[in-house]
């Protein structure tokens, strides 16, 4: 397999939006409880935050975390999660058929985010609630003091405002599964009025309107158009959500899922810009891809996948829900998603992998036990660490393959950045081919005296196969190893990628 890439120092897409290295913590399954928070765990600090998990979050380089949902937020009363913990109510969460203890809420999350070094992205409930609860939450969180709500925040332990910049206007409001789901007209109006009221409390916030729950929704396209026609001047971003999986052994399509992600992004950009033109608006609406990942919603061919959501019978606290195990193939696909997001960094300004811990997550943890990195941790961690400065426009010519439902697709997928400050080009490569290595030639135009400082690859480990995964018993089964087959001669680099691999 052959591929040729051309990078030119002067051909850039824009600055790397660091918020694309975001993640998501929902009150769902064991993401919060026994995920980031587990009082009594040997590694927990005095607040109950698991320091083993915190170390991994920092290592992963997460920039921003969306909270508290997800479907959960559409039935959530934020007031339940503030004030003395022993007085907080236990509630039923209809989204995940779970008992929510409210032991963890807004203050705990903000404290956790500070320790983790991440920005908070807060969602308001536009399912069962509306304008009033949302504007009150902004006042509680961001107003300096001297009002009932801001003084209550101080009395609850935080005299300084939380200063939350990024706000989501509900979650997946087009989805029939969502509590308080809405038509595009209904949602467009409430999104506009809620954003307006929130900005009247704090005009400096940035606001995300819900786009479609996925590009297969019957209203995809018209939803974005209608919502933005109403809310254009009041919001800054429109959201996208997408989950992919390998269906029935169709690895050819699965490995090309980022083609669909590219198409999804470009369709939403086109729709937002069409509303801009028709409405004679001057500003641009950017994209917040605030849920994306591999998710085996239709089961996986590995046994004991705890992905079933209990709908009947007992209500439990933090049950195991969708604790997907990720293998080598999943990591390569996740690498291509990150490439897609980075390539579109001129318009995708926020992106959140869903979720952070245990629930379809790069980090796993066991109650009372260890925490470990899943295979999909690695592309994220390396891209977050190395994608700085300018996004380069990659001109790629690659051998192609028949990618099933996505048609002819490049075998080699790439993105790249140029960090002038450190004099460093970072190149992120995925090889979708299962059968042969790929020889990649990289034409580095505009740089002189280039040398390779570091090259790593994630691929099928010796004795393993494409389904090999890192588990509690074998936490290092899948990881990065040095990539030796890299040379630079003048301004040409050559790289040999093993079959099915992700490399940096």
Binding site for ligand AHR (CB under 6 A): 26, 28, 69-71, 171-172, 291, 354-355
| CB-nearer residue toward ligand AHR: 158 or 241 | 241
| Smallest gap from residue 139 Cβ to ligand AHR (A) | 26
| CB-nearer residue toward ligand AHR: 70 or 105 | 70
Structure tokens at 492: 């040409």
In degrees to the nearest 10, what's the CA dihedral of 195, 201, 205, 210? -20
Q: 65 near 23, Cβ under 8 Å?
A: yes
Q: Which residues are within 8 A (CB) of 295 and not within 5 positions of it... i.e. 6 or more apart?
A: 243, 244, 245, 322, 324, 354, 360
| CB-nearer residue toward ligand AHR: 140 or 377 | 377
| Smallest gap from residue 242 Cβ to ligand AHR (A) | 10
Q: 433 near 420, Cβ under 8 Å?
A: no
Q: What does the DSSP 8-state code read for residue 393? A: P
| Smallest gap from residue 144 Cβ to ligand AHR (A) | 32
Q: What does the DSSP 8-state code read for residue 372? A: E
| CB-nearer residue toward ligand AHR: 20 or 28 | 28
Helix and strand counts by DSSP (H, E) for the chain = 10, 27
Cα separations (Å) of 306 from 75, 177, 300, 322, 356? 24, 21, 10, 6, 17
Q: Which residues are catalytic?
A: 172, 291
| CB-nearer residue toward ligand AHR: 235 or 242 | 242
| CB-nearer residue toward ligand AHR: 28 or 414 | 28
| Smallest gap from residue 147 Cβ to ligand AHR (A) | 32
| Smallest gap from residue 494 Cβ to ligand AHR (A) | 40
Give the number of other Cβ atoms within 10 Å of residue 162's Cβ: 21
| Smallest gap from residue 117 Cβ to ligand AHR (A) | 23
| CB-nearer residue toward ligand AHR: 128 or 491 | 128
Crossing angle (nearest 10°) for helices 257-278 and 328-343? 20
Q: Positive or negative, the Cα torsion across 89, 91, 95, 97?
A: positive
Q: Which residues are within 8 A (CB) of 254 and not within 5 positions of it... i.e. 6 or more apart?
A: 244, 245, 246, 247, 329, 333
Q: By Cβ distance, which residue is nearest to ligand AHR?
A: 70
| Smallest gap from residue 93 Cβ to ligand AHR (A) | 11
Longest distance between any two alpha carbons in the chain, whole Å: 68
Q: What does the DSSP 8-state code read for residue 229? A: H
């Amino acid at each position: 397999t052959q591929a040729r890439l051309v990078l030119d120092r002067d051909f850039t897409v824009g600055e790397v939006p660091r918020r694309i290295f975001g993640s998501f913590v929902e009150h769902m399954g064991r993401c919060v409880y026994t995920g980031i928070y587990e009082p009594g765990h040997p590694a927990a600090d005095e607040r109950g935050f698991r320091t083993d998990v915190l170390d991994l979050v920092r290592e992963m380089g997460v920039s921003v975390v969306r909270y508290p949902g997800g479907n959960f937020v559409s039935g959530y009363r934020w007031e339940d999660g503030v004030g003395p913990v022993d007085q907080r109510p236990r509630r039923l969460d209809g989204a995940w058929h779970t008992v929510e203890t409210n032991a963890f809420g807004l203050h705990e999350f903000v404290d956790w985010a500070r320790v983790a070094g991440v920005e908070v992205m807060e969602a308001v409930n536009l399912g069962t609630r509306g304008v009033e609860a949302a504007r009150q939450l902004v006042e509680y969180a961001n107003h300096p003091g001297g009002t009932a709500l801001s003084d209550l925040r101080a009395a609850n332990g935080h005299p300084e405002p939380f200063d939350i910049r990024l706000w989501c206007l509900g979650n997946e409001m087009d989805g029939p599964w969502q509590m308080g789901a809405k038509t595009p007209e209904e949602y467009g109006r409430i999104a506009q009025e809620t954003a307006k009221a929130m900005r009247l409390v704090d005009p400096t916030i940035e606001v995300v309107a819900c786009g479609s729950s996925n590009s297969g929704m019957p209203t995809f396209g018209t939803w974005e158009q209608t919502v933005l026609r109403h809310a254009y001047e009041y919001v800054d971003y429109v959201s996208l959500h997408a989950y992919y999986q390998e269906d029935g052994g169709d690895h050819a399509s699965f490995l090309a899922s980022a083609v669909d992600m590219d198409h999804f992004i470009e369709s939403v950009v086109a729709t937002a810009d069409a509303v801009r033109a028709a409405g004679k608006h001057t500003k641009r609406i950017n994209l917040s891809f605030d849920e994306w990942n591999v998710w085996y919603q239709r089961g996986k061919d590995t046994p004991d996948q705890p992905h079933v959501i209990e709908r009947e019978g007992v209500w439990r606290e933090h049950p195991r829900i969708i604790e997907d195990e990720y293998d080598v193939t999943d990591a390569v696909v996740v690498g291509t998603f990150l490439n897609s997001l980075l390539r579109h960094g001129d318009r995708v300004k926020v992106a959140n992998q869903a979720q952070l811990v245990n629930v379809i997550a790069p980090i796993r943890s066991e109650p009372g036990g260890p925490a470990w990195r899943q295979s999909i941790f690695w592309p994220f961690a390396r891209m977050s660490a190395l994608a700085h400065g300018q996004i380069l426009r990659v001109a790629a010519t690659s051998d192609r393959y028949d990618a099933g439902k996505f048609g002819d697709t490049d075998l080699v997928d790439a993105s790249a950045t140029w960090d002038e400050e450190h004099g460093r080009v970072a190149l992120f490569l995925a090889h979708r081919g299962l059968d042969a290595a790929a020889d990649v030639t990289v034409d580095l135009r505009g740089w002189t005296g280039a040398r390779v400082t570091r090259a790593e690859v994630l691929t099928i480990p010796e004795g393993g196969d494409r389904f090999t995964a890192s588990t509690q018993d074998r936490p290092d089964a899948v990881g990065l190893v040095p990539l030796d087959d890299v040379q630079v001669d003048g301004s040409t680099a050559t790289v040999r990628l093993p079959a099915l691999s992700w490399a940096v």
